[in-house]
Amino acid sequence: MTASGGGFSGDAGSGTAGSGAGVSGTAGSGDAVSGDLVSGAGVSGLLQALRFAAEKHRDHRRKGATAAPYINHPITVAEQLAALGLGSDVELLMAAILHDVVEDTGTTEAELVEAFGERVTRIVMEVTDDGNLRREERKSQTVSNIAGKSREARLLKLSDLIANIGDMIHHPPHWDDERKREYLDWGEAVVNRLRGTHHGLEARFDALVREGRAVLTE
Ligand code: ZN
């Protein structure tokens, strides 16, 4: 998910970009299931996910001074998972690439199942907020629900939080310090509920939060 209502996504909801032809392919049909990253099927599924997400997010920008293309964010989330030894689960990386398309672009669950199969879709839906709730409700729901999510969803959520907090520190959105502090507090509340999921990701998260707090007290 985006920033779970943290407001990191740019023009959320404006995207109705067609998925275009060529998206639904063999991904999710079984060949790509937990394939190795070096296998052709895995690479092909990952590239399809990238193309799909890039098209869906094509009109979106990240918040923050540089207004980076939105797709950079899901790429970072996937990249972090791969860098910490989770790259052999290609479907997890695909879900990372796709993690904001339902919440932010109006992509449907059915569309994802059709294009990427049940498992990728299940992970994406697990980290997708209920759009009917207000931001504060979504955020408190994330805290209360995260421990009951699958390991894949918890890994993805961790990487998403790391990416969002990293951006908040290094490419600050136009938030006052109070709001930044609230975001760090909320991120910590979420992570405290899922500790034990992945040491490397949690250590990276903790280091970033310390950095964020140090920046805020300067
Ligand atoms: Zn996100």
Q: Average pLDDT, stretch 176-198?
A: 96
Residue 40: predicted pLDDT: 65
Positions marked active-site: 103-104
Q: Average pLDDT, stretch 113-120?
A: 97
Q: How far is the CA of 10 from the centre of ligand 1 (A)?
A: 11
Q: How far is the CA of 60 from the centre of ligand 1 (A)?
A: 13
The string of DSSP codes covering 125-168 is HHT---TTS-HHHHHHHHHHHGGGS-HHHHHHHHHHHHHHHHHH
Residue 22: predicted pLDDT: 38
| pLDDT band of 39, cuts 50, 70, 90 | low
The yes-or-no verdict on residue 53 having pLDDT over 70 is yes
| pLDDT band of 176, cuts 50, 70, 90 | very high
Mean pLDDT estimate for the chain: 85
What does the alpha-carbon distance between residue 183 and residue 141 come to, in Å, rounded to a whole number? 15
Q: How far is the CA of 24 from the centre of ligand 1 (A)?
A: 23
What does the alpha-carbon distance between residue 188 and residue 191 come to, in Å, rounded to a whole number? 5
CB atoms within 10 A of CB 21: 6
According to DSSP, the residues that pair with 69 across neighbouring strands are 61
The yes-or-no verdict on residue 9 having pLDDT over 70 is no
Q: How far is the CA of 73 from the centre of ligand 1 (A)?
A: 7
Residue 173: predicted pLDDT: 84
The yes-or-no verdict on residue 38 having pLDDT over 90 is no
Instruction: Report percent pLDDT > 90 for the chain.
Output: 70
Q: How far is the CA of 39 from the centre of ligand 1 (A)?
A: 27
CA–CA distance from 107 to each of 27, 35, 39, 91, 174 (Å)? 17, 25, 28, 18, 28
Helix or strand holding residue 118 (H, E): helix 109-126
Residue 20: predicted pLDDT: 38
The yes-or-no verdict on residue 13 having pLDDT over 60 is no
Q: How far is the CA of 99 from the centre of ligand 1 (A)?
A: 6
Q: Look at 8-12, 39-43, 111-115, 161-165 and tell me which has the smallest mean pLDDT.
A: 8-12
Q: Which residue type, as a one-letter code, is found at position 58?
A: R
Q: Look at 20-34, 69-83, 113-127 and tell me which has the smallest mean pLDDT.
A: 20-34
The yes-or-no verdict on residue 21 having pLDDT over 90 is no
Q: How far is the CA of 160 from the centre of ligand 1 (A)?
A: 5
pLDDT tens digits for 83-99? 999 999 999 999 999 99
Residue 110: predicted pLDDT: 97
Kindly report the pTM of this predicted structure: 0.82
